[in-house]
């Protein structure tokens, strides 16, 4: 079991679980909430088959990583990502972030890419550029929506998770066509095993404004987003991100839900591999 110490809480080390497989140019995959690095299995298989070195890790509080009570802000989370790349001495990295993981990608460019390790960026069904509604961000969401999410989590996070995952994969829209009940159940088990502190406190992080971070991106960038995303609608996220990053490619997955890296893995992998070439 490979782990990296990224901090300490009281007498306990805070460790990230990671997997480092294959050879070739490194691709670091940052997962979404409330899952783990295992959620990348369909992309990892395709990348390894294409000759890439694939690094996945579990965000603090999730999967097999430590579950501290603090550190669920994007400065800390992106610092964890940076520490992993530094510890593995990675260079010429393609950094890929799914959903909440897009925040780590953005903040890495905003604060932690001084050494120029990351040379390609991918935002997949990503949370960027900014979700909080304000006078200068009218496309955003009223913060009271996120307070409602936190209240639902505090009341019964497992009931909330069950509904969330159905919307995550558009289960009501597609039935069993693109994802099975068994696969959703497997994702439920991963999310349910996460830390309560991580599950709840990451909601506050979703309100981060990444527009200043993505303004620092000067490398080739790919944005992949489904036009049927019920969690992070494309008009407020993917299309805006692509428009804000000069030269960014936008790949729209027709009918793609939020969890398109599973439901539309073939199309997603094809777009990802074409970009990495």
- Residues marked active site are found at 99, 229, 258
Q: Which residue has the tokens 């830390």?
A: 195
Whole-number Cα distances in Å, 135 to 66, 143, 232, 261? 38, 13, 20, 33
Q: Which residue has the tokens 């793609």?
A: 256
Neighbours of 26 (CB within 10 A): 22
By three-state DSSP, how is residue 88 classified? coil
Give how far the C-alpha of residue 251 lies from the chain's centroid of Cα atoms, to the nearest Å.
17
Alpha-carbon distance of 271 to 267, in angstroms, equals: 6
Give how far the C-alpha of residue 178 lies from the chain's centroid of Cα atoms, to the nearest Å.
21
**Of the candidates 95, 102, 45, which has an alpha carbon nearest to the alpha carbon of residue 225?**
102
Whole-number Cα distances in Å, 51 to 239, 265, 273? 30, 18, 11
Alpha-carbon distance of 155 to 253, in angstroms, equals: 35
* 150: its two tokens: 């936190």
DSSP string, 36-80: -GGGGHHHHHHHHHTT-EEEEEPPTTSTTS---SS--SHHHHHHH
Q: Which residue has the tokens 């949370």?
A: 127
**Of the candidates 149, 184, 153, which has an alpha carbon nearest to the alpha carbon of residue 169?**
184
For residue 112, give the DSSP letter: I
By three-state DSSP, how is residue 246 classified? coil
């Amino acid at each position: 079991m490979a782990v990296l110490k990224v901090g300490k809480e009281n007498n306990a080390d805070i460790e990230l679980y990671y997997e480092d497989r294959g050879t070739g140019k490194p691709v670091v995959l940052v997962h979404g909430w409330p899952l783990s690095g295992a959620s990348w299995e369909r992309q990892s298989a395709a990348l390894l088959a294409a000759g890439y070195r694939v690094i996945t890790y579990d965000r603090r509080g999730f999967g097999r990583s430590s579950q501290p009570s603090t550190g669920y802000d994007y400065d800390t989370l992106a610092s964890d990502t940076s520490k992993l790349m530094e510890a593995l001495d990675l260079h010429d990295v393609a950094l890929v972030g799914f959903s909440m993981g897009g925040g780590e990608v953005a903040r890495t460019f905003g604060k932690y890419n001084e050494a120029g390790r990351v040379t390609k960026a991918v935002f997949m069904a990503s949370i960027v550029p900014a979700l909080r509604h304000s006078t200068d961000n009218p496309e955003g969401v009223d913060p009271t929506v996120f307070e409602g999410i936190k209240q639902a989590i505090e009341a019964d996070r497992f009931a909330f998770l069950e509904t969330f995952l159905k919307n995550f994969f558009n289960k009501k829209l597609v039935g069993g066509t693109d994802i099975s009940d068994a696969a959703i159940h497997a994702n439920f088990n991963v999310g349910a095993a996460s830390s309560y502190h991580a599950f709840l406190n990451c909601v506050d992080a979703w309100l981060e404004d990444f527009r200043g971070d993505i303004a620092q991106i000067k490398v080739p960038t790919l944005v992949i987003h489904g036009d049927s995303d019920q969690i992070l609608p494309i008009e407020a996220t993917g299309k805006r991100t692509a428009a804000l990053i000069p030269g960014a490619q936008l790949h729209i997955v027709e009918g793609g839900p939020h969890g398109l890296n599973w439901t539309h893995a073939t199309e997603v992998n094809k777009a990802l591999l074409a970009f990495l070439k």
